[in-house]
Amino acid sequence: MRPNYFSMDSLPPTRQKTESVLLERLLKTRAYSLELAAPLSAEDQTVQPNDDASPTKWHLAHVTWFFETFLLKPFCPGYRLFDERFPFCFNSYYEAEGARQPRGSRGLLTRPTTTEVLAYRAHVDDALRRFVGGAAISDTVADLIEVGINHEQQHQELLLTDILSLFAASPLRPAYRPAPATRMASDAAPLTFTSFEGGLYHIGHDGAGFGFDNEGPRHRAFLHPFQVANRLVTSSEWLEFIEAGGYRDPSLWLADGWATVKTQGWAAPLYWEWRDGSWHHMTLSGLHPIDPAAPVSHVSYYEADAYARFAGKRLPTEFEWEFAARELGASAPTEQTDPLTPRVSDEGQMFGVVWQWTQSAYLPYPGYRAAPGAIGEYNGKFMCGQHVLRGSSCATPAGHARLTYRNFFYPHQRWQFTGLRLASDA
């Protein structure tokens, strides 16, 4: 039996899952990472703005280390490491793979240089091209390539959010790249709620196609009758929260959230700035006035929960979100959206705008077992103290999101494209 790295049970057989198709997808994914890094200088790619974020150069090298460590080194005969010092530099959190650079010190890695990192990528890409395209591969190898592709897509999103964090800290407020010539979003749709009956429903990945191990096993969950909003909370609605004293009213906040508001001095979402008598926000295209009709973004779980209380509602559970999205026929984008900033808040948008906080703690599903070995550290060991987000954001690569995807962050974190959708008991 092959290792349970993730859910791939219903994928076609290896002979249909051809090496040429896998190689094409793999190289396309690898090329997109370089495309995302292309607008950045070597200096941009080296700096680490905070302990949550990582330098672009580190992202480019880490995903390369992942393929080298979990695919080439154990399965490619005769493969030689590009540099025996690099595993220490670019291992993230895999204890089974040994010592590593502390997470908060990744920005100190001025060496290897960006040029050397690109040479590292070229070395590994060449080995992948020869290995995957040169002979028949096993199911285990094919599955690991799928993991590597999806892992790199996760870091492509992180690369963008981390660059935004870096540029927001610069007094120059630089743009990652200029925004396309578009006007602000039109008025958001009126806020309404769709009702769903309670009952016992199947939740989680059903084995059709790729899914990370934390999306299963598929199981039954009981839902009480509930309602879910037709759209995301907008910036104009968040302004009402601010103007009503939402950041000054402890009755709206969880205890840890209120303590964070006081110690961090929160008065608005991350990247919002009061300039010339109005609110602006930092985006990947630079500093701009907020778009009132666009969804609010870069808010923590604590803020999302406080706003829901302010609105007389609550956040959905992750099971409610998944069931509602399935019943409404929501589907993830298959074409790449512009990753600069979420600009619309239309009805029915469950994907491709902002990740949506749920009130669900990130915990294992019934029957979950992490895979043995280092690859088993991918998801399972983080199932404590974090909350689940559902959907996807404008920075999520096309084809990476799905109904059962479980993103997760700590409740104080807000440097990602995170927003919220309201829910209530029916």
Q: What is the mean pLDDT of residues 47-76?
A: 97
* pLDDT at residue 17 tops 80: no
Distance (Å, whole) CA 80 – CA 337: 38
pTM given for the model: 0.93
Phi, psi of 292 (to 5 degrees): -60, -30
Distance (Å, whole) CA 190 – CA 209: 36
Fold observed for domain 6-168: Four Helix Bundle (Hemerythrin (Met), subunit A) (1.20.120)
Residue ranges covered by each domain of the chain = 6-168, 193-425
C-beta separation of 240 from 37 below 8 A: no
Phi, psi of 189 (to 5 degrees): -60, 145
Closest CA to 134 of 78, 80, 181: 78
Closest CA to 422 of 258, 290, 312: 312
Q: What is the pLDDT of residue 16?
A: 40
Under the banding of pLDDT at 50, 70 and 90, the label for residue 344 is: low
DSSP letter at 244 equals T
Under the banding of pLDDT at 50, 70 and 90, the label for residue 19 is: confident
Under the banding of pLDDT at 50, 70 and 90, the label for residue 346 is: low
Distance (Å, whole) CA 280 – CA 242: 14
> Per residue in 157-209, pLDDT tens?
999 999 999 999 999 999 999 876 655 666 888 999 999 999 999 999 999 99
Under the banding of pLDDT at 50, 70 and 90, the label for residue 383 is: very high
Under the banding of pLDDT at 50, 70 and 90, the label for residue 252 is: very high
Q: What is the pLDDT of residue 260?
A: 98
Closest CA to 194 of 308, 327, 359: 327
* pLDDT at residue 8 tops 80: no
User: Does 338 or 392 have the greater pLDDT score?
Assistant: 392
Q: How many CA atoms, within 13 angstroms, populate the side-chain half-sphere of residue 256?
A: 9
Cα 35 off chain centre by:
18
The string of DSSP letters for 204-239 reads S--SSS-EEGGG-S-EEEEE-SEEEESSPPBHHHHH
Distance (Å, whole) CA 155 – CA 54: 10
Tell me if the bond preceding 112 is cis, omega within 30° of 0: yes
Distance (Å, whole) CA 70 – CA 148: 9
* pLDDT at residue 15 tops 60: no
Fold observed for domain 193-425: paralog of FGE (formylglycine-generating enzyme) (3.90.1580)
* pLDDT at residue 135 tops 90: no
Contacts of residue 111, defined as CB under 8 A and 6 or more positions apart, other chains included, come to none
Closest CA to 302 of 414, 411, 417, 413: 411
- Examine domains 6-168 and 193-425 and report if their fold is the same: no
Under the banding of pLDDT at 50, 70 and 90, the label for residue 12 is: very low
Distance (Å, whole) CA 139 – CA 15: 9
User: Does 237 or 189 have the greater pLDDT score?
Assistant: 237
**Top-ranked range on mean pLDDT: pick from 184-188, 233-237, 334-338, 371-375:** 233-237
Closest CA to 421 of 337, 363, 342: 342
Six-digit token pair at 240?
Answer: 């009402």
Q: What is the pLDDT of residue 332?
A: 86
C-beta separation of 35 from 243 below 8 A: no
Q: What is the mean pLDDT of residues 79-87?
A: 97
Q: What is the pLDDT of residue 343?
A: 66
C-beta separation of 30 from 155 below 8 A: no
Distance (Å, whole) CA 120 – CA 82: 6
C-beta separation of 220 from 249 below 8 A: no
Report which secondary-structure segment, H or E, holds 67.
helix 56-67
Distance (Å, whole) CA 425 – CA 419: 20
Six-digit token pair at 169?
Answer: 């800290």
Strand-by-strand arrangement of the 226-229 sheet = 193-196, 226-229, 423-425
Per the prediction, the chain carries an average pLDDT of: 92
> Per residue in 265-302, pLDDT tens?
999 999 999 999 999 999 999 999 999 999 999 999 99
